[in-house]
Chain A
Amino acid sequence: MSAPATDASPTTVREFRLPDLGEGLTESEIVQWHVTEGDTVELNQIIADVETAKAVVELPSPYAGVVVRLHEPAGAVVDVGAPIVSFRIAGEPEAVVRPVPEDEAPARREPNLVGYGAAVEKGGRPQRRSRSTVPAAGAPVPQVPALEATVLPATVLPATVLPATVLPAAIPAPTSAPERRPAPVQTPAQARTAVPSAALAPGRSHPAVHDVSAASSRTVVAPTDERPRSTPPVRKLARDLGIALEDLAGTGPGALITRADVLAALAGAAGPAAAVLDAGTAPVGSPEPARAERAAAAPGEIRTPIKGMRKHTAAAMVASAFTAPHVTEFLTIDVTPTMELLAELKGSRAFEGTKVTPLTLVAKAVCIAVARNPTLNSSWDEAAQEIVQYSAVNLGIAAATPRGLLVPNIKGAQGLALVELARALNGLTETARAGRTPPADLAGGTLSITNIGVFGIDAGTPILNPREAAILAMGAVRSMPWEYQGTVALRSVMTLSLSFDHRLVDGEQGSRFLADVGTILRNPAMVLTMV
């Protein structure tokens, strides 16, 4: 690429650069030259055949003149915008032969639809005016003196080191700032509110206020608050992967963050600036982990955005666990008579076609026991400062479903005969496992059972379903050596774990309830003494 001679008046040398011959093409192949250096050509004389991705086309000369140089040989694949031929034009007025740009030092240009496109900026993208040096015309100037006077001694934070850039970079504004601020300086209102709140905050969080050097260095690190340059699919990919674009250095044209950059960050090549907020280590009790920064996943990690069912479950568990003071009691019992009853029921005509399980009998026992200990079937109404005791037992059953943990409940379980209760339980669990539980089934529960025994687990400390006073976990039925009629025998043994809300259920009531359930399961005939 040679700089065209521009001084050789009256003749002028013009370069002709490969245009975009189709719509949005970036390169073409020179198939054949129809002229050689030294040839005299007319305007629009065909000088070459050029093949684009779309067609082979003839290239008409943009000038009348003499071909002085063919920059590319036939067969060359040339980028759009690259010079391919130079002409010497004699004695024509400038206006007539002006079409091709005459750059002293031809810069690479981005292919464009028309002409030769926009010149590539040095930084790869248009340069914004520096925020700290040139306020936009008419934009308000931050009221720096006011800050000095009211908040900070001038010796600590002189006005000269308090350009507006310090504020948004170092101090999170209390109001939600837009991602893109059109005005390059902070408005006085923002400045006034930002600094006092920052000054009141703990120094560890906001070093800029107390440490001038830290503030200065932060200014260098964060000269702009513009959104990093990328494309919508890449932004979505980064969001899905939990990668913060702000932490990436784009390798594409104009610092564009590419798909490869995001994937590289996922593979662990992310910069050290990546702020990690591991959901597992976050303070569980914080009501809103607001505006958590996306962390780049380390190798071997799979990061899943917290949303949907998981988010709801977490919120419910946090609310329950840190609102209701839980007490959990355990009772391990010999349920061999219950298992014998179960076998009997399975063979009975009344239960033909109906699945009966230990859960069925536990549920029935709970319904009977709660009638004798109604405190367990109640709720703490914080807002009304009242304890609400329910006459109906809407018995919740914790179920693992495709959507996650659900606790649908059986309305009025206390009024159901055993076979009805069995059918209700079967219907409830089948619906839940199919993911078709209606919202009404999830609302209004008063007391719950969780069957951890199906997983082979013995005991645990269940967390209350929110607004309920008790939850019973039934463990696995195990064949164990157990005391039986004065000797050790192999018996069917189960552990019950009862958590209750100690605000409204005392140890006495909880214990009596659990004991009653245990009594029934130890010897179902004891129901005769209870109802």
Chain B
Amino acid sequence: MTEDSTQPGAGPDSGSDPQGAAPSGTGGTVHPGPGREGADDLVRLVDHHGVRHPDRHYDALVADVDGAALQKLYEDMVVVRRIDAEATALQRQGELALWPPLLGQEAAQIGSGRALRSDDFVFSSYRENAVAYCRGVDLGDILRVWRGNASSGWDPYTINMATPQVIIGAQTLHATGYAMGIINDGADSVAVTYFGDGATSQGDVNEAMVFAASYQAPVIFFCQNNHWAISEPVGLQAHVPIARRAPGFGIPSVRVDGNDVLACLAVTREALTRARSGGGPTFIEAVTYRMGPHTTADDPTRYRDANELEDWAARDPLARIATLLDSLGLLGADYSDAVKAKADAVAAELREGCLSMPEPAPSDVFRHVYSEPNSWLERQQDHYERYLASFAPAPQEGTR
């Protein structure tokens, strides 16, 4: 296809980066469709020009996505981008210790996150704040840990999403174990674990895949290949597309354009259906790009080419859907204003939730350790409170 030569993944970085532009035909794609027979092997339904491409296999999986649903997906992406920007600003203003931006990865997270059922369970890394938004997390809770206010942000069972795992790749084991539990329960829910390209070099991820395949556990390995493991380019650790590793474990895999929200929704739904029907695990490699720094303490200009960022900015996940909506006549002023108002309201709620967060008391460290009263812990708390009482009263000063 002539158009493929200009599509994401076949861009100017193709010579140096096998992940962005894998040669066609030999990938781990389970269902190669007509849209993927060109220069790359990515599942793609909406290209970066906002053009919707028919797909024999995946169209059926998103047949229910009408104009209103597409508008909702777009709104989600706008809102989470705004959440990300507001949290970044809060860090710059001294209100958060750190923030890991997701800029550029909105489609991968919203597309997959919106495919899930409420009884599915998510085990994520620290960057999946858009997934947490899809799960219905209280906005302030997203920031709680990054503000140093609490050891974890939320009760995992209220939104069926574990609190973010900072240890790289460890959550894949948790997800696999949870999925094995689903088998034992005879349920049809699915565990979904999110991790990055860098995590695939961790032993944990590989061990999780061995167990997932051995037990045919209903787990989805959702890898967001954002091209950078902090400062290491993905080509350094993966000489073939990451998705090609999974078949070696006996796990079917698929590479998807991670900046195409519709395609991400489609491949995730397919994997969910497979898992619910006893088909076992699936590995999804969503090829996307981390447009921001690794965290707010990072300066990506020191290690990556500005041209690369420009190339990927041209493949922006929001812009292509906006273009598509516009071409469908669905990007009217009313809709656009409503989306902006929603984003503003969410940002204000996020900021207020951050700034009004009560400071934890010293003894709060003893809370949430056990679900039931524990005499040993109560004893330690008693000792600690008596220890604190041995200090003179703090000088009267304004609190933060």
Contact = CB atoms under 8 A, between A and B. Distances in A.
Interface of A: 16-23, 44, 54-60, 62, 95-96, 98-104, 107, 113-116, 119, 121-122, 126-130, 136-138, 182, 184
A16 B392 CA distance: 30
Contact of B389 (A20, A122, A137): A137
A136 B391 contact: no
Contact of B355 (A55, A98, A107, A137): A98
A116 B400 CA distance: 7
7 contacts: A19-B91, A20-B94, A23-B297, A54-B298, A57-B299, A99-B355, A182-B387
Interface string B368-400: 000000000000000100110111101101111
Contacts of A23: 97-98, 297
B254 to A, nearest CB: 36
A21 B296 contact: yes
A396 to B, nearest CB: 57
Contact of B390 (A22, A54, A107, A184): A184
A59 B352 CA distance: 19
Contact of B398 (A96, A99, A102, A121): A102
B94 A114 contact: yes
A67 B36 CA distance: 54
B54 interface: no
B93 interface: yes
A494 B94 CA distance: 86
Contacts of A138: 386
B367 to A, nearest CB: 20
Contacts of A100: 94
The 7 closest A-B pairs by CB, nearest first: A19-B94, A55-B299, A113-B97, A127-B392, A62-B93, A22-B297, A60-B89
Contacts of B301: 55
A114 B387 contact: no
Contacts of A60: 89, 92-93
A108 to B, nearest CB: 11
Given A54-B298, A55-B299, A103-B397, A116 B94 contact: yes
A122 B391 CA distance: 13
B357 to A, nearest CB: 11
Q: Is the interface of A mostly helix, strand, loop or mixed?
A: loop
Interface string B88-104: 01011111111000000
Contacts of A130: 392
Given A128-B392, A136-B390, A57 B398 contact: no
Interface in B331-374: 352, 355-356
Nearest to A51: B299
A62 B354 CA distance: 13
B311 to A, nearest CB: 22
Contact of B298 (A44, A55, A115, A121): A55
A496 to B, nearest CB: 69
Nearest to A131: B390
Contact of B95 (A56, A59, A107, A114): A114
Q: Is the interface of B mostly helix, strand, loop or mixed?
A: loop
B96 A114 contact: yes
Given A98-B355, A113-B97, A113-B148, A119 B92 contact: no
A182 B383 CA distance: 9
A113 B95 CA distance: 9
A101 B390 contact: no
Given A16-B93, A121-B394, 8 more contacts: A22-B296, A57-B92, A102-B398, A113-B97, A115-B400, A126-B394, A136-B390, A182-B387
A495 to B, nearest CB: 70
Contacts of B397: 103, 107, 119
A22 to B, nearest CB: 4
B246 to A, nearest CB: 34
B344 to A, nearest CB: 10
A137 B94 contact: no
A107 B396 CA distance: 11
B86 interface: yes
B299 A19 contact: no
B392 A129 contact: yes
A204 B298 CA distance: 65
Contacts of A95: 352, 356
A493 B394 CA distance: 84
Contacts of A116: 94, 400
B28 to A, nearest CB: 36
A130 B148 CA distance: 32
B293 interface: yes
B97 A114 contact: yes
A54 B386 CA distance: 41
Given A22-B297, A136-B386, A17 B94 contact: yes
A104 B390 CA distance: 28
B297 A128 contact: no
A126 B96 CA distance: 25
A340 B148 CA distance: 89
A95 B85 CA distance: 21
A16 B85 CA distance: 20
A22 B295 CA distance: 9
Interface string B200-215: 0000000000000000
A17 B95 CA distance: 11
A44 B391 contact: no
Nearest to A117: B400
A99 B94 CA distance: 9
B320 interface: no
B95 A115 contact: yes
B224 to A, nearest CB: 23
